[in-house]
A = this chain, B = another copy of it.
Amino acid sequence: MAEPFLAVDWGTTNRRVYRIEDGQVVNAESDSCGISAVSDFPAEVANIRGRMGDLPMLLAGMVGSKNGWRETQYVSVPAGIPELSANLLRIDDRTSIVPGLSCLAGQRPDVMRGEEVQLLGAAVAGLIPQDALLAQPGTHCKWARIANSAVVAFTTSMTGELFALLGKQSLLAEQLTGPVTQSEAFLEGVREGQRRDLAASLFGIRAAKMLGVRDDSESASYASGLLIGSDVCVRMEGNRASPVYVLANPDLGALYLAAIAENGGEAQLLDSHTAFAAGIIAIWEACS
């Protein structure tokens, strides 16, 4: 087997480091030292090696963005493990960054950084069939079509960011302070999302308060259902026959599963850490 190495899933706000030996994760740590909290990357990388082992290192995620350590290219889809391995950005002879992916599906440009490792990891680990639709909910939800162990197309939706923005300072802010639960109000929002009329559906949340037609403690759930549902509805078009594989924590994952079911689809939750480890090991082995 390949020599031991350290893998880092380095995002904007969080970071996860894995020590991998003989194709297995033997140690892992998570912290909130995302790239926005780091200014001296060489020093950070030396610290990681001090804690986790003085080994070669493979980095992925926003660490390869303009605001990260060094900017990697975007490899255009279709792309699998071989295309990522062939386009690593070598910082030095034992430190590399995985490139991102780009896509021009239907004339709409799209990019990702970091998610590609999980997506392809799910494929190489055999967690999904040959041809599958995957979703990675979050601030910017990624939806990817994987075929024959390559990402062939993907779409990013600003769902999570819109929810956060609306809750922070919009007309709706005071209504969105409550918890989001997988309630009937959430499903009502999902159904409203099927109208594909987001800017008007959002104002409906305000009007419902003015007219007293919904208990305002349910507005956050309804708004979340509306935003997630709007996204799910478009992505499920022509995709109801086979399950969607959702890479997410159980709470957020459950909301997506409910929204997908409400749109007549089926979904299955996958563990994103397992998928990341499988993906980064495959990249490592492909270039060792």
Residues of B within 8 A of A162 (CB): 199, 202
A170 and B161 in contact, given A74-B211, A156-B200, A198-B198 (Cβ under 8 angstroms): yes
The closest CB in chain B to the CB of A200 belongs to B157
Q: Give the contact-size bracket for chain A.
A: 35 or more
Please report the C-alpha to C-alpha distance between residue A208 and residue B151 in the assembled complex, in whole angstroms.
20
CB pair A199 B198 closer than 8 Å: yes
Answer whether residue A210 sits at the interface, using C-beta atoms and an 8 A cutoff: yes
CB pair B109 A231 closer than 8 Å: no
CB pair B171 A201 closer than 8 Å: no
CB pair B109 A208 closer than 8 Å: yes
A156 and B230 in contact, given A196-B196, A198-B199 (Cβ under 8 angstroms): no
The closest CB in chain B to the CB of A192 belongs to B108
CB distance from A69 to the nearest CB of B (A): 17
CB pair A200 B165 closer than 8 Å: no
Answer whether residue A159 sits at the interface, using C-beta atoms and an 8 A cutoff: yes
Each complex incorporates copies of this chain amounting to 2
CB pair B171 A203 closer than 8 Å: no
CB pair A213 B171 closer than 8 Å: no
Answer whether residue A111 sits at the interface, using C-beta atoms and an 8 A cutoff: yes
Contact with B along A217-255 (1 / 0, CB 8 A): 000000000010011001000000000000000000000
Of the residues B199, B207, B210, contact of A231 by C-beta under 8 Å: B199
A170 and B165 in contact, given A108-B201, A110-B207, A140-B203 (Cβ under 8 angstroms): yes
Answer whether residue A197 sits at the interface, using C-beta atoms and an 8 A cutoff: yes
Of the residues B158, B169, B203, B210, contact of A158 by C-beta under 8 Å: B203
Answer whether residue A204 sits at the interface, using C-beta atoms and an 8 A cutoff: yes
CB pair B110 A204 closer than 8 Å: yes
Residues of B within 8 A of A140 (CB): 171, 203
- List residues 140-170 of chain A with CB under 8 A from any CB of chain B: 140, 155-159, 161-162, 165-166, 168-170
CB pair B199 A158 closer than 8 Å: yes
Residues of B within 8 A of A109 (CB): 204, 207-208, 210-211, 213
Please report the C-alpha to C-alpha distance between residue A109 and residue B188 in the assembled complex, in whole angstroms.
13
Residues of B within 8 A of A196 (CB): 196-197, 234
13 sampled A-B residue pairs with Cβ under 8 A: A102-B210, A110-B203, A110-B207, A111-B210, A156-B200, A156-B207, A158-B199, A158-B202, A159-B199, A168-B169, A196-B234, A199-B227, A200-B234
